[in-house]
């Protein structure tokens, strides 16, 4: 398992333009496979347009204590991009006035931003209905200064959404690094201990599953059952829902696909599994994504590909929901990952 980000390794895939080139050339250029735009034109769904804004997703930095094999952010301890308090202030102004009902903080490991707690305290005062923090779990056990995170989350009624690739040690550690499984189990037990994930608890704890290789996720409902059974039997752990997410062919997962000679087969399987009814509900139709430096994107994936919104409003400092809502969404072949099978978003399946 690699322990450095693509950026640190100076991989050509650290360059978003290079990724976009790969996604536009080869099988999509020579007509073997239709581009995503051609595909959604067939069902009169082009151009892709936003519906009502529901989710404001803020990426507070790319630093992470892990270097997972398939990370679409290319996060890791060597990434230094971190949202400043000044940009957080601009975000808070938007959070207080947005029509969105969900605030979704992500990273990297968002908890590693030195102003994370201040930001959560301030943002929780805005009265947003659903306040999500995407926690990788191991951060809770990474260092003493994070040990009280379960209590902190509880105090601010944060909805915790955590990645957990499998209920076995082997599969989890292979994808996310040695020791990740044991630390995640301990963190889940600690979240349970303060009330997270209990059947009647308002303290929401959801898990996110993504496949460990070049294949699509199985059925979300049956996987949730399997996860619940195994985690309860083996460790007494409870959680609310499992979201099954498809790996999008960008960043470290694209690197993995190319290195393992699976890129073309994977794109074929995404295109074959294209589900036109998933298109209407892809994440970008109800979400705005904000980067650590305040730029606006249709989704976290477009953020990583450097594809800023096609709107005259491009930065959080000039945010205007009405103008933003009147834009076309920028698409490329990675979007096939959101429309395969039952569809995929940060909240799991969409169709
Ligand atoms: S924990 Fe999440 S952000 Fe961190 S490296 Fe893994 S996938 Fe990326
Ligand atoms: S990758 Fe982003 S822009 Fe493309 S369909 Fe998915 S959410 Fe929309």
Average of per-residue pLDDT across 181-203: 97
Per-residue pLDDT at 336 exceeds 90: yes
Place of tokens 């990474």: 142
Residues 6+ apart with CB under 8 A from 281: 343, 345, 350, 351
Between 342 and 73, name the one with better pLDDT: 73
**CA separation for the pair 246, 244 (Å, rounded):** 7
Per-residue pLDDT at 343 exceeds 90: no
Give the pocket of ligand 1 (CB within 6 Å).
64, 66-68, 71, 73, 75-76, 107-109, 136, 163, 176
Per-residue model confidence as pLDDT tens digits over 5-26: 999 999 999 999 999 999 999 9
State residue 9's pLDDT score. 96
338 lines ligand 2 (CB under 6 A): yes
Residue 106 CA, closest ligand 1 atom number: 3
302 lines ligand 2 (CB under 6 A): yes
SS3 of 71, please?
Answer: coil
**CA separation for the pair 200, 188 (Å, rounded):** 17
State residue 347's pLDDT score. 72
Beta strands per DSSP E along the chain: 55-59, 102-106, 130-135, 159-163, 205-209, 242-244, 287-290, 296-297
Atom 6 of ligand 1, nearest CA residue:
68
Percent of the chain with pLDDT over 70: 99
Cα angle, residue 106 at apex, residues 16 and 264 outer, rounded to 5° = 40
Per-residue pLDDT at 267 exceeds 90: yes
Three-state DSSP string of 279-328: HCCCHHHCEEEECCCCEEECCHHHHHCCCECECCCCEHHHCCHHHHHCCE
State residue 341's pLDDT score. 87
Ligand nearest to the CA of 61: 1
Percent of the chain with pLDDT over 90: 92
Per-residue pLDDT at 41 exceeds 70: yes
Between the CA of 80 and the centroid of ligand 1 the distance, in Å, is 14
Q: Which of 16-25, 77-86, 338-347 has the lowest mean pLDDT?
A: 338-347
**CA separation for the pair 23, 310 (Å, rounded):** 20
State residue 1's pLDDT score. 61
**CA separation for the pair 289, 53 (Å, rounded):** 11
State residue 175's pLDDT score. 83
Residue 67 CA, closest ligand 1 atom number: 5
Between the CA of 300 and the centroid of ligand 2 the distance, in Å, is 8
Average of per-residue pLDDT across 269-273: 97
pTM of the model: 0.96
Average of per-residue pLDDT across 263-277: 96
Per-residue model confidence as pLDDT tens digits over 132-159: 999 999 999 999 999 999 999 999 999 9
Backbone angles phi, psi at 216, to 5 degrees: -85, 155
Between the CA of 313 and the centroid of ligand 2 the distance, in Å, is 19
Q: What is the average pLDDT value for the chain, to the nearest integer?
A: 95
Of 350, 309, 347, which Cα lies nearest the Cα of 134? 347
Per-residue model confidence as pLDDT tens digits over 117-127: 999 999 999 98
């Amino acid at each position: 398992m690699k322990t450095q980000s693509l950026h640190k390794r100076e991989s050509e895939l650290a360059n978003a333009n290079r990724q976009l080139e790969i996604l536009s050339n080869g099988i999509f250029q020579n007509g073997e496979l239709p581009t995503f735009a051609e595909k959604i034109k067939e069902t009169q769904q082009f151009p892709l347009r936003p519906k009502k804004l529901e989710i404001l997703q803020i990426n507070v930095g790319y630093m992470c204590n892990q270097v997972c094999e398939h990370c679409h952010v290319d996060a890791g301890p060597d990434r230094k991009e971190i949202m400043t308090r000044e940009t957080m202030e601009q975000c808070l102004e938007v959070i207080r006035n947005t029509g969105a009902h969900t605030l979704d903080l992500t990273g990297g490991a968002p908890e590693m931003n030195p102003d994370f707690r201040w930001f959560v305290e301030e943002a929780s005062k805005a009265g947003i209905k659903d306040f999500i923090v995407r926690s990788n779990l191991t951060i809770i056990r990474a260092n003493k200064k994070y040990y009280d995170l379960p209590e902190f989350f509880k105090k601010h009624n944060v909805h915790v959404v955590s990645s957990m690739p499998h209920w076995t040690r082997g599969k989890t550690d292979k994808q996310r690094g040695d020791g990740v499984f044991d630390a995640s189990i301990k963190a889940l037990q600690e979240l349970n201990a303060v009330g997270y994930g209990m059947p009647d608890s308002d303290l929401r704890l959801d898990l996110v599953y993504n496949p460990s290789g070049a294949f699509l996720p199985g059925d979300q409902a049956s996987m949730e059952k399997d996860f619940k059974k195994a985690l309860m039997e083996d460790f007494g752990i409870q959680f609310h829902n499992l979201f099954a997410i498809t790996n999008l062919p960008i960043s470290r997962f694209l690197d993995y696909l190319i290195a393992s000679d699976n890129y073309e087969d994977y794109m074929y399987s995404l295109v074959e599994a294209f589900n036109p009814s998933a298109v209407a509900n892809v994440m970008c139709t109800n979400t705005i994504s904000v980067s650590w430096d305040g730029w606006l994107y249709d989704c976290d994936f477009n953020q990583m590909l450097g594809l800023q919104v096609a709107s005259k409003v491009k930065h959080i400092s000039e945010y205007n929901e009405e103008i933003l809502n009147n834009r076309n969404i920028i698409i490329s072949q990675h979007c096939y990952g959101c429309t395969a099978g039952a569809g995929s978003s940060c909240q799991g399946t969409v169709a």
